[in-house]
Structure 1
Amino acid sequence: MRWRKAALFAVMSGALALTVHGEVAAVSPMLGTGFGAVMAGVFALSTLLALNFVIDGQGSVRVWAWAVLVLAGGMELGLNTWHALTKEIVNAEGMAGPALPVPAAVAVGAGPVVLAGLLSHLVALTMTPSRPEGEHTEAPVVASMPTPVTSIPVGPAEVPSHRGEVRLEPQGDGVQVERPRTGTPPAPRKAIPAGTGSGPKQPRTDEQLLAILSYPELVPRDEDGTVPVRRAARELGCGVDRARKLLRQEGLLTSGPDTDGPAVRLIQAV
């Protein structure tokens, strides 16, 4: 393998030498042999470097490499072709004429330049270490197990449907008044044991109970305007005997049997 690389390098060097020789011969009448050799070497190396960057470069590097390749390579092609076309020889008759026909002169002038560029790229490829087949430069992907997500079943939110309610409350004259209730129902209250009412822990005085008893909204009446003893005891939170005394004092004691009818306070769902 090494001798192949050495052979390629030798052939490339020969093609570069031919290119440099043609350029020096073309510009030596104006610049001299020394400066002509410097200019030819600059053009040759610029062409080789630009060719490799055009193939392997990225972005703006490739753009500038194309500019150098067009300029330097064009100068090499032009000078070598010009030298081949203007080269004259003296024949046996002593007359000067073109050394080669025009097609042959163009091939001789441009051929070494193209060959040197191709060989330089081939040498660059052979110098680059080859990767084994199947080898990737990308970083290996580490497989990670997905984190289990515990799903909590959530049922549909229960939205209570509130309907209008009508409360029938008897007034003092026995006429029941409808009071509609709409909107959001009040928050549930804590249960209060029967017999304690909604009052404070300290027992109420008779004046306080009589004040409560005077409101039909708090202590509902029957159709005849009286209040059964048991209903009064329940609403006032006192004993039956005390409720009977208060009803008699207020003039609300029923004269008939003491029955607490269920139809005095109605809640009707609409």
Structure 2
Amino acid sequence: MFPAPDSLAACAVDVLTTADALAKTVKSRAHARAWFEGRAAGRPMPVGEAVPPAHPARPETPELLAPRDVPRRRPGSAQGRKALLHAVAHIELNAVDLHWDIIARFTATPLPLDFYDDWVRTADEEAKHFQLLNDCLRARDSFYGDMPAHAEMWRAAQDTAGDLMARLAVVPMILEARGLDVTPPMIAMFRKAGEQDAVDALETIYAEEVGHVAHGAKWFRFLCAQAGLAVEETFHALARCYFHGALKPPFNADKRAEAGLPPAFYQPLAAESGAGRA
């Protein structure tokens, strides 16, 4: 279908420089499969080195707006639920790029192959999530790009481009952890509306996102141990420096703990933002 890159970093850049959303996710899954097949055969693809783009290639649509300018969704209506599926698809497509970016951008940091296993698997699952949601949109006579989306998701990657620990703190441990909080109510809403395909897609996403947050917490702890840093204090300092939003309850304490994020990670930040306790 397309030439196979000769290193994992080159695979990452191949995904990042592909504009079409479906082609991007197909490449993500194909490169992940090639990586794990090589690992299973005892002939792992070299990690290599590559220069990722400052911003990933994107399709011409959706129109990207400032968050305040994105039309409000009204989930009680069929149109509102469709808009919500589009918004989640946008998040998942950005996540594909975010996770391949972490693979390519930090190759100068010596890391075990298990690190790459975790992020390749995560990028593969994010691609699957986008495809599931795109199928839901097509079943509703829609498609990804049919509605505006916000343009802020890549800011976390730009802000943390020079700091692997900051990237782990902000992307999986804050942004993806938020998905653990908000997905169960979405599942309940689509179940109440009798939209089983959306329920199935969101339940798959919910189950697998726990692992994505866990990968962030695992490798954040690994890097803290290497540097002799206190884990929670370092996380708080990086979050204050690089995260530009507020941590708001309610928090899914059980799933966050399952992913390696007990309340001591997020409650102090929530209190500082004036959000109070869960």
What TM-score comes out, normalization by structure 1 length? 0.22
Q: Which has the higher helix share?
A: 2
Q: Which has the higher strand share?
A: 1
Larger Rg: 1
